[in-house]
Amino acid sequence: MKGIWSELERERILDEPVRAGLESAFGNKAKKALAAIDAGKIRRYLDFFVVEGRTASYVVDEEFCTCGDFMYRGRTCWHLLAVRIAMITCRYERVEHWYMETRKDEPGG
């Protein structure tokens, strides 16, 4: 597994061999992470990353994620994987302000 990260950090591109290596190492989590990156669903705010999932957006900060897989099962999720890949390849949207969720019942929400 260390080899795929070394290769990605050296090349910093998501070509087919790197994608295949990630999928081999991480299976379906890699497929979901790569799909999110390709779809532009990774945003880097001033304080942390936000990954748009199928049903919600999840806050990712270092080795922490707000998704159920991480919070309740203690598992490394595809959101963490997506952020790690996005950071290495610089494939994320930069948002130049602090992240703040706007609730629908608040003005402007």
pLDDT tens string 35-52: 999 999 999 999 999 999
Residue 51 — φ and ψ, nearest 5°? -115, 125
pLDDT tens string 42-100: 999 999 999 999 899 999 998 999 999 899 988 889 999 999 999 999 999 999 999 87
Domain ranges of the chain: 2-94
Q: Is the pTM of this model over 0.75?
A: yes
